[in-house]
Amino acid sequence: MSSLISSASFYNGATNTIDPYSLFSVLFFLFYILCLTKDQLLLKLRETKEQLESSRSQVFLLSSALACVKQRVQSLNDKIKEFSRRGDINAIRYNIAKAYKEGKLKERTGLINILNSISQNLCKKKKGKRYSVTTKEFYEVLLTMGGPRLCDFVSRNLDGPHVHSALV
């Protein structure tokens, strides 16, 4: 009997005390069960068994759904890593968006302006391109520090302005 009391939820072994509210709820439950007839008790047990089976099936369904979601997330992570290795445009977009969400682009307004100029000019004709002041200053510094050949090389690869347009 003492092992039953020591393992009960209403007994606090650290302080050697009994919680009266928990003890009352346990006693009330025992009194309720003792007052039931055999048929009522069987009916209550069947209902509890059905609830338990229903809960088990729900747990099984949720755990299998969770396993499917984990597998899908892993598959998507693998695809993202594969795309980023190949240089896919979606991977580039993903990496830029990730850096933005992590706050790594807050103080890089020059980079943002240059990327914005590149993205806006990709679909324009050769003579309709417009560049931000930051982009023009970047190419001017590139022309001054690296010379016209370097400026032309970077401009061709990043869809920047012509060497003669780089001077502000």
**116 touches 132 (CB < 8 A):** yes
Q: Which residue has the higher pLDDT, 21 or 93?
A: 93
Please tell me the predicted confidence (pLDDT) of residue 82.
76
First to last CA, the chain: 94
pLDDT in tens, 47-62: 888 998 999 999 999 9
> Backbone phi, then psi, for 122, in 5-degree steps?
-65, -35
Please tell me the predicted confidence (pLDDT) of residue 1.
42
pLDDT in tens, 59-90: 999 999 999 999 988 988 887 777 667 767 77
In the predicted structure, residue 145 carries a pLDDT above the cut 80: yes
Give the single-character DSSP code of 14.
Answer: T
**91 touches 83 (CB < 8 A):** yes
Q: What angle do CA 63, 66, 68 make, to 5 degrees?
A: 115
pLDDT in tens, 102-142: 888 888 888 888 888 888 888 888 778 888 888 888 888 88
What lies within 8 Å, CB to CB, of 135 at 6+ separation is 113, 114, 117, 160, 161
Domains of the chain, residue spans? 2-70, 107-166
How confident is the model over 4-26, as a mean pLDDT? 58
Q: What angle do CA 43, 60, 69 make, to 5 degrees?
A: 155
- pTM of the entire structure? 0.45
